[in-house]
Amino acid sequence: MAAPGQNLAVVVHRAGDLRLENRPIPEPGPNVLYFSRRLVNMPSVLKCICVVLARLFGAEVLLRMHSVGICGSDVHYWQHGRIGDFVVKDPMVLGHEASGTVVKVGSGVTHLKPGDRVAIEPGVPRETDEFCKTGRYNLSPTIFFCATPPDDGNLCRYYKHSASYCYKLPDNVTFEEGALIEPLSVGIHACKRAGVTLGSKVFVCGAGPIGLVNVIVAKMMGAASVVVTDLSASRLQKAKEVGADFTIQVKNESPQEVASKVESLLGCMPEITVECTGVQACIQAGIYATRSGGTLVLVGLGPEMVTVPIVNAAVREVDIRGIFRYCNTWPVAIALLASKRINVKPLVTHRFPLEKALEAFEATKRGEGVKVMLKCDPTDHNP
């Protein structure tokens, strides 16, 4: 382990102010329920407090971080200091697409041990509310989420996280694949919400990382044809590489014209549209393109208010569904990666050591490549 203080981290202080700085190496906390069951002489009031705390937080593990992908939200916090109502008020460590190695476990952790390679699910419920009870913990209003103010992320050398939300990686799944489970989970959640199934015709708006994982997942789930639109020819080429059947480079076409091109390529209007840009014109194109009775899933986040042809959607019974992150996807993603049913490796186009994180963020801001991966372990820069 590094000497005290040698925990290099990527920290955003305010809009436009991104720094590399050392932070203390954290200590993993215990499962206080573990203690409450053993300290039989503990006063009943303290036992109750321990039980409540255990349910809220559970035990933690300390991880030596290996691979962390840069997400568009990380860049947005750096550039603007906020995303919607989430405002950077205090210095915050970025990063939430991550994997690493367990180096220390809190008391009561039984399913992980030092040396285990794990992928990190960044969203951890703080309480067992109505959403957790129904399995939709991603909607819990009090959820902890890495790199969402005020919660620190994991773009650093050492990071502690809830043990229950660290998932052991099989030997044939790399650290980078483990880090990519986070964006992959968005695709799994979106395609499940959309109802992709055998023979589906799917339209994906946007060929960024999230659009690409939706292509990968839709094809794996049985989609017969997937068409992808984007402004960038290089990203559309990447979409073809990961399984898209057709691509459309959008230039000056109206939303209706884009929809017409989608129908022409597929031979019919798609039953499902997955909108991954948040751009008003793309949402409009998605509504016009989707077959009557079909489903449009909104994945991309853009302006709070947009103008859309809502009557067109209503009279044709086009269902419009939102998604917020994901839930219950890590075991599914790990199984798919381990079985080689899907391949996310082509998504990583750039790699930087943690010491060059500021260069990596600049490259991401310029739109270079697809996924930029930071290597946090100075002794191991392998995938």
Q: How many residues does the chain have?
A: 383
Cβ atoms within 10 Å of 291's Cβ, excluding its own: 18
pLDDT band (50, 70, 90) for residue 38? very low
Confidence at residue 30, expressed as pLDDT on a 0 to 100 scale: 80
> Does 364 have pLDDT greater than 50?
yes
Confidence at residue 47, expressed as pLDDT on a 0 to 100 scale: 53
Confidence at residue 44, expressed as pLDDT on a 0 to 100 scale: 63
> Does 177 have pLDDT greater than 70?
yes
pLDDT digits (tens, 9 = 90+) for 305-340: 999 999 999 999 999 999 999 999 999 999 999 999
Calculate mean pLDDT across residues 235-251. Answer: 97
pLDDT digits (tens, 9 = 90+) for 213-237: 999 999 999 999 999 999 999 999 9
Calculate mean pLDDT across residues 73-97. Answer: 96
Q: Which two tokens stand for residue 245?
A: 């059947």
> Does 39 have pLDDT greater than 50?
no
**Measured distance CA(184)–CA(205) in Å, rounded:** 16
**Measured distance CA(58)–CA(71) in Å, rounded:** 27
pLDDT digits (tens, 9 = 90+) for 144-160: 999 999 999 999 999 99
**Measured distance CA(286)–CA(320) in Å, rounded:** 10
pLDDT digits (tens, 9 = 90+) for 277-309: 999 999 999 999 999 999 999 999 999 999 999
Confidence at residue 41, expressed as pLDDT on a 0 to 100 scale: 54
Q: CB-hemisphere CA count at 13 Å for 363?
A: 18
**Measured distance CA(216)–CA(239) in Å, rounded:** 9
Calculate mean pLDDT across residues 361-382. Answer: 95
Calculate mean pLDDT across residues 357-372. Answer: 96
Strand, helix or coil at 10? strand
Q: Among the listed ranges 47-51, 164-168, 178-182, 365-369, which one has the minimum average pLDDT value?
A: 47-51
pLDDT band (50, 70, 90) for residue 252? very high
List, in sequence order, every beta strand (DSSP E) within 157-304.
Answer: 158-162, 166-168, 201-205, 225-230, 246-249, 272-275, 295-298
Helices 255-266, 280-289: inter-axial angle, 10-degree rounding: 40
pLDDT band (50, 70, 90) for residue 210? very high
> Does 3 have pLDDT greater than 80?
no
Confidence at residue 43, expressed as pLDDT on a 0 to 100 scale: 63
**Measured distance CA(247)–CA(238) in Å, rounded:** 10
Confidence at residue 216, expressed as pLDDT on a 0 to 100 scale: 98
Calculate mean pLDDT across residues 236-265. Answer: 98
